[in-house]
Amino acid sequence: MTVPVAIPSPFRYNATVIEVHDIDTVICRIDWGFRRHDDPIPVRLLGGAGRELSEPGGEEAAAHLARLLPPGTPVVLHTAKPDKYAPRWLASVAYPLNGQPRDLVADLIADGWLVHWNGRGAQPKPPWPREMAA
């Protein structure tokens, strides 16, 4: 008899945005349920890379994300694994847009603020001035 290998699935957490650090990191308050919360928890957006604050376009990118996710915005985090910069988490983020949940990284890539990145190798940078993804 063969036993199937268990593939770990991500954990899902409700969270609230406290602030935006830069285009690919947000600070959240995590809701563990049963009136238990943790904050501040930095969350690195999984699957994308953007410009750092010190680079051209970095401040503009962070400001754009801050407009999408003002403090108090509810989000849903799907964690992948601990980040090498603990206590930061790596997670996919769903956020509300016009009353519908949206994939934050997919939207930021489509709008030219992020580029795809799997976390391996040299971190790519989106062009600046930004270009819309094809």
- Find the CATH number of the domain harbouring 18: 2.40.50.90
3-class DSSP assignment, residue 58: helix
Instruction: Phi first, then psi: give them for residue 108, nearest 5 degrees.
Output: -70, -35
Distance CA 32, CA 38 (A): 8
The verdict on residue 95 lying in a domain is yes
pLDDT value at residue 127 = 93
Q: What is the mean pLDDT of residues 38-47?
A: 94
pLDDT value at residue 133 = 52
The verdict on residue 130 lying in a domain is no
Nearest to 131 by CA among 116, 118, 114: 114
Per-residue tokens: 63: 């400001």
Confidence of residue 134 (pLDDT cuts 50, 70, 90): low
Residue 25: CB atoms within 10 A of its CB come to 20
The total number of structural domains in the chain stands at 1
Nearest to 44 by CA among 16, 15, 84: 84
Domain that holds residue 48: 12-116
User: For a pLDDT cut of 90, what percent of the chain falls above it?
Assistant: 70
H or E stretch covering 62 = helix 58-68
The answer, yes or no, to whether residue 1 has pLDDT greater than 60, is no
The verdict on residue 123 lying in a domain is no
Q: What is the mean pLDDT of residues 87-99?
A: 92
CA 63 to chain centre: 15
pLDDT in tens, 48-88: 999 999 999 999 999 999 999 999 999 999 998 778 888 88
